[in-house]
Structure 1
């Protein structure tokens, strides 16, 4: 990210190096003033450099492994590797993921193994996320103490931005690990146990609600669009957190749906103003990043000398020539989605521009299947076997619109829900929803699968709606017993136990095979 290039060495040392994990270690820090020669947080530039480094820390964490692929449709068994491709030994890990055999995925990903480049074992280590959280806690504390030459509005905006990053990081961790250690103190010295994830999300929702109006709808500099916390991104985060809790807190589900609708209505009021659903023909702008459709994303470009991990984004495995070079190596894609799954999403007899613009041989059960949906970050020609950019689309407008539709349907407000889901379908020149296309709630779920395929939402949608328990919705569903014991989570590295007698790991994985 261009803004991250302005980071100063002191901040990177602070956030990236001096926050080791293990409760007494990562929660008991040397005072900031001792680390910076007592001259830090003296200007707006110091705050900018610090907050940029926190974004960078989170990006580095998700850029180090195939976490997006590992938490998407592949984990429910909808993708497979192309057995005729020379890279089949490494890419067949998608089928192991599809069986939810995470222990084989992790233990079989050691040095020298076929899929070691994906670095799945790093997903079990939450250290980088807590480094970002600790950075936010310290920054909020220093802003409240006062930073010279910051106006009151600037102070509020920076506190809101740090609050957004902290809440987003907890949200990300909850979906990966379930219950997490939760704290907001700048220098937490006492060990803490893991806290119930619903309570963590409640705290984050309240925190974000307090600060959301201090964020701008958008930025004057288009280079910052989607890359920095905005009011739209915060509203989308609040919608996601409410919908997550609705799936696990049955007694309060309607209240969460109401909050989601409220946030969605406010966000949709900006459709065509601060944010827009772009015509589908302009999709390359969306996947490239920083478009009017982006609510929040992580972006890096080789043009800025950023470190690009070509295995980290989802789409690279689902492309071949002419979208990947050299041609001789990529006559087929490396992975594909099952034809039966694609027919469920996109029936053959129904028109939908997404079928034409995002896919090649959409129903093929072989390497002819490709997803040009993700081709925008691939070199257009030559012999480069890598990406020019890494764009992780976290929240975009159509995602929020469909969450809004889902919450309305759950509240029985079907006409309004249909209006929202049809906004997305109209952009795709697809026929509007009618009852002949199935129950509305199921249709909205499938519309999210269609619209957001490969963007890291499908597994979590299956989990929070409990559809992961049904063969109808997942190729390899979980049993109720597996679900209740946490088979939907990711294992946690045993390093988290270090110096924290109150810490526990995820029972399902520790009682299956040790990590």
Structure 2
């Protein structure tokens, strides 16, 4: 019999819902994984560069924990607009139908433990505790770096400050897209209970916080182990662009300012020459999806070579691959899910040249489990009866994404010729017909669809629908929200009741309380 005590400094953050003190016993097997107290608090911990490195690595790991809780990228960023269906006859068909429930925006049913899809555990999305653990860890690290840590040079200090600030701002950005308004703080030991802040204000604070760190970071890293997997100048620019473009959708009186900053950042990124678009060949695209490539701006690198523990559900491609792209053969004869043919035909119209349609998909218009998103199937290393997905990284920001945000911002500023030039960089890589249409709304809509085509399955589509308000337009979403639902933020997720523990100032998302 062994006793383990979990002691944390989260007493000051009871309003987040953390347990300040708990004890438990276990016998014969591990019952609870306990984070070291000093890793969270910083007390007597930061004594060397190695301590800082270990703590930064832990923050990345904590964030990936949230992506690894289930089919998260698909559930939050792709299927809520209604174009995805479970494939009749697929493995665990009744459970896979959760994609259709998500597509109707029925999140409460998707989280219902009495349903056959309960093992998707979408209730975990509603719990923001892990994000606030990352934020407080970043706050403490920033505080300790400013105090001074033995062995940390001025150069290293600037880099670590930038990296910790990036992780803090990235966590806020991610939460804003999930919950709308969130609690915002940057103190290392926040004692006062705080209410939720308006999301536009939160992102404006993050923009102000992160901008000064951009120029002090390397564009990328020569060390292949760090490229894309650690924050860089490219990562910071991508996050700054995304935060500006989100606010442009909700703070319309100031949208020109957001567009101007996003456009300038995109120009800076493109002119740097630090990143490139890989050719759409088997080797080229496999390199992109494997990770650590010159196209990656920020990713959570995962590799079968390192025995990385991905949940079976967590990769997006898990639901849209079949044998021979996914093993074992006996229960993967068809893909679990498919995109409806009307949507795919809208993405890749017949008669319009686009290599992605043939290169990234098999049976694209089948309306069945024969549909295959080969885009995610180029790194297959399993064989026989191994239950494995292809060996891909979790891509968050990619160079192509930033180029298209650049085009969108330019189009928003009516700089149509420049927008078309950026747009056609992506079209050219895809060996697609160049855009030769008009400017204005026609161009802005085409850029939106180009993001859907290029970033298929990478977790951007639903958030693009929300921030551009196209989620209310049936021309862009199969199950659109009405204006009342949008204004009441039906596009958010519910917030778990535990957020109110010890903090009566927290209000939950009203739309989901009235379902």
TM-score computed with the length of structure 1 as normaliser: 0.92
Task: Pick the aligned partner of 1:403 from 402, 405, 411.
Answer: 405
CA RMSD of aligned residues (A): 2.2
For residue 56 of structure 2, what is the aligned residue in structure 1?
51
- Secondary structure (helix, strand or coil) at the match of 1:71 reads helix
C-alpha separation between the residues in 2 aligned to 1:354 and 1:223?
29
Partner of residue 447 from structure 2, selected from 439, 444, 453: 444
Whole-angstrom CA distance in 2 between matches of 1:286 and 1:206: 31
Instruction: Note the residue ranges of structure 1 that are not aligned, 5 or more in a row.
Output: 1-12
1:470 maps to 473
Distance across 2 between alignment mates of 1:25 and 1:488 = 24
CA distance in 1, matches of 2:343, 2:357: 13
1:205-263 deviation line (CA, Å, top 9, x unaligned): 11110111121111121111111000001000000000000000010000000000011
Question: Which of 480, 483, 489 is the aligned partner of 1:480?
Answer: 483
The correspondence for 1:185, drawn from 184, 187, 195, is 187
- Could you tell me which residue of structure 1 aligns to residue 110 of structure 2? 105
User: How far apart are the structure 2 equivalents of 1:175 and 1:34?
Assistant: 28
Structure 2 length-normalised TM:
0.92
Cα distance in 2 between the residues matched to 1:251 and 1:32? 45
Distance 1:34 1:255 in 2: 39
Residue of structure 2 aligned with 1:167, choices 166, 169, 172: 169
Of the structure 1 ranges 355-364 and 413-422, higher mean CA displacement relative to structure 2 is found in 355-364
In 2, the alpha carbon distance for the partners of 1:55 and 1:209 equals 21
Instruction: Please give the alpha-carbon distance, in whole angstroms, between the structure 1 residues aligned to 2:102 and 2:158.
Output: 43
**Residues 28 and 189 in structure 1, CA contact (< 8 A), matched pair in contact too:** no
CA separation of 1:485 and 1:151: change in aligned 2, threshold 3 A: same
Residue aligned with 1:453, SS: coil
**Whole-angstrom CA distance in 1 between matches of 2:462 and 2:363:** 24
Is the contact between residue 382 and residue 388 of structure 2 (CA under 8 Å) also seen in structure 1?
no
Alpha carbons of 1:418 and 1:52: their partners in 2 closer, same or farther (altered >3 Å)? same
Matching residue within 502, 506, 509 for 1:503: 506
Residue aligned with 1:224, SS: coil
Distance 1:33 1:326 in 2: 43
Residue from 23, 48, 51 that aligns with 2:15: 23
Q: Distance in 2 between matches of 1:327 and 1:393?
A: 27
Separation in 2 of the partners of 1:511 and 1:145? Answer: 48
Distance change in 2, residues 1:27/1:277 (3 Å)? farther
Indicate how the Cα distance of structure 1 residues 42 and 418 shifts in structure 2: closer, same or farther if over 3 A, else same. same
Aligned position for 1:6: none
Please give the residue correspondences for 1:319-338 in structure 2 after superposition, counting only pairs within 5 Å.
Answer: 319-338=321-340
| Structural mapping, 1:178-217, within 5 Å | 178-217=180-219
Contact 1:157 1:215 in 2 (8 A): yes
Is this contact kept in 2: 1:426–1:432, CA < 8 A? yes
In the alignment, the residues of structure 2 paired with residue 309 and residue 48 of structure 1 have an alpha-carbon distance, to the nearest angstrom, of 26
| 1:418-451 deviation line (CA, Å, top 9, x unaligned) | 0000000000100110117981000000000000
Structure 1 equivalent of residue 70 of structure 2: 65
Q: Mapping of 1:190-269 within 5 angstroms?
A: 190-269=192-271
Q: How does 1:276-291 map to 2 (within 5 A)?
A: 276-281=276-281, 282-291=284-293
Aligned to 1:301: 303
| Separation of aligned partners in 1, 2:508 and 2:272 | 42
CA apart distance, 1:270: 2.5
Alpha carbons of 1:48 and 1:417: their partners in 2 closer, same or farther (altered >3 Å)? same
* Count of aligned positions: 493
- Checking the alignment, whether the CA contact within 8 Å between 2:177 and 2:492 is kept in structure 1 is yes
**CA–CA distance in structure 2, aligned partners of residues 298 and 147 of structure 1:** 27
Measured after TM superposition, the shift of residue 61 of structure 1 is 1.4
1:324·1:379 contact (CA, 8 Å) conserved in 2? no
**Offset of residue 414 of structure 1:** 0.3
Q: Which structure 2 residue ranges, 5 or more long, are not aligned?
A: 1-5, 22-34
Offset, 1:406 = 0.3
Give how far 1:294 is off. 0.2
Q: Is the 8 A contact 1:134 1:186 kept in 2?
A: yes
Aligned residue in 2 for 1:458: 461
Structure 1 residue 289: Cα displacement: 1.1
Are the counterparts in 2 of residues 468 and 474 from structure 1 also a CA contact under 8 Å? yes
Distance, in Å, in 2 between the alignment partners of 1:37 and 1:128 is 17
**Offset, 1:171:** 0.2
1:114 aligned partner:
116
Using the TM superposition, give the Cα deviation of residue 364 of structure 1 relative to its aligned residue in structure 2, in angstroms. Answer: 1.3
CA drift of 1:327 comes to: 2.2
Q: Please, which of 88, 92, 95 is the counterpart of residue 87 of structure 1?
A: 92
- With over 3 angstroms needed to count, the CA separation of the structure-2 counterparts of 1:37 and 1:375, relative to structure 1, is closer
Residue aligning to 2:178: 176
Alpha-carbon distance in structure 2 between the residues aligned to 1:65 and 1:478? 25
Which residue of the partner structure matches residue 125 of structure 2? 123
Distance (Å, rounded) in 1 between the aligned partners of 2:475 and 2:138:
42
Shift of 1:356: 1.6
The answer to whether the Cα contact below 8 Å between 2:17 and 2:498 also exists between their aligned partners in 1 is no
Once residues 428 and 9 of structure 2 are traced to their aligned partners in structure 1, the CA distance between those partners, rounded to angstroms, is 50
Any conservation in 2 of the 1:80–1:94 contact (CA below 8 Å)?
yes
Paired position in structure 2 for 1:41: 46
1:27 deviates by 11
- Aligned partner of residue 231 in structure 2, secondary structure: coil
